[in-house]
Amino acid sequence: MPENNGKSAQHKALVLGVNGQDGSFIAEYLLAKGYQVKGVGRQISSRWVSAPNFEYLQLDLSDLEALALLLSEYRPDRIYNFAAVHGSSGFRYENAGRDTHIVNTLTVQVILDFIVRQNPLCRLVYPSSAKTFGAQLPHIIDDDTTRVSECLYSIAKNTSRDLIRYYRKHHGVFSSVVTLFNHESSRRQADYFVPTLVDHAAKALVDPGYRGSVHSLGMSCDWGDAKEYAALIVAAGELDEPYDFNIATGTCRTGEDLASDLFSALGLTHGNHLFETSPHQSKTTRFRVDTDKLEQLLWVPRDSILDVCMNILKTNHPEAWAKKEPKP
């Protein structure tokens, strides 16, 4: 069960990658719970978060000495390490190989060393990814499913998971690994599949003759709501013990399923507005994520990806949303 010691207002949290989708939602949940939060990002200023108990710091996390100094000076007792070199489908990690290893793995080593040497009561929550199970996911995925390193990103993530488990076993560090399956919001980068799909739907609402392209609709994903996942991640840091578990809805859909449902909900037919440039590529088999452990520890996400798509449409495409809404 989550902590209920009435001391959350005293907690100092550090959120690495606060300008990203996940980091920004996590920071907002922590602030709502009374935490003092310092957010770190590469950009000059905070993109999403602003509050009295929030402080933003611009920092290049490839500078490991600067990170170590920050940890020593700020002395957080909660760390959410959501900074990562991460790209949408087709991103070539070899073009950012050095930074991929530094930001996605070596920062974890620096944090674990800080906890052991300077603040043993500090807690770390680290995100892993569905990509660590391989390009072709097994039919059923649970917490014991074998990890497969098939790209630099999954190599770095799996190495970090091994580091965290080692420090937890040999040094007693409170460190949890949450493996996130696809999760989306209006804050997701525009080149990812779901924002791209919503963008096409928005243009079709405005222009009935619109035709746009996607690479493929053949992928199978377990999609959820990034904001709801952030609430689960914060709750994971408040459990009585550290746990590793998957965060997913337990429902798998194809890109074709989602496109059909979204366009239909808007009174459109996706086949009239979308075509695939590589229809036979990116096809993956359906799978199911076992969410039993997640349900036992916290709760299974409840928000549907269709609801998330509607929120993206409303937030990022107000002109199109007005076309969808009935006139007063």
Q: What is the per-residue pLDDT across 10-63, written as a single tens digit (0 to 9) for each?
A: 789 999 999 999 999 999 999 999 999 999 999 999 999 999 999 999 999 999
Task: Tally the C-alpha atoms within 13 A of residue 301's C-alpha that lie toward its C-beta.
Answer: 30
Q: Which amino acid is at 145?
A: T
More confident residue, 324 or 29: 29
The answer, yes or no, to whether residue 92 has pLDDT greater than 80, is no
Please state the pTM of the whole predicted model: 0.92
Residue-wise pLDDT for 247-297, tens only, equals 999 999 999 999 999 999 999 999 999 999 987 766 778 999 999 999 999
- What backbone torsions phi and psi does residue 204 show, to the nearest 5 degrees? -70, -35
Q: Residue 7's pLDDT is what?
A: 43
Q: What is the CA radius of gyration of the chain?
A: 20
Cα–Cα dist 153/96, whole Å:
10
Cβ-Cβ contacts under 8 Å for 40 (sequence gap 6 or more): 14, 15, 16, 17, 18, 56, 57, 58, 59, 61, 70, 83
The residue among 223, 107, 112 whose CA lies nearest residue 176 is: 112
Structure confidence at residue 8 (pLDDT):
44
**pLDDT for the residue 278:** 86
Residues of the chain with pLDDT > 90: what percent? 81
Strands 140-141 and 183-184: unpaired
Q: Which residue, among 94, 98, 125, has the nearest Cα to 112 in the 3D structure?
A: 125
**Residue 99 near residue 150, CB atoms below 8 Å:** no
Residue 46 has φ and ψ, to the nearest 5°, of -70, 135
pLDDT in tens, 139-150: 999 989 999 998
Rounded to an integer, what distance in angstroms lies between the CA atom of residue 249 and that of residue 254?
Answer: 14
The whole-number pLDDT of residue 1 equals: 38
pLDDT at 99: 78
As a whole number of angstroms, the distance between CA 142 and CA 246 comes to 7
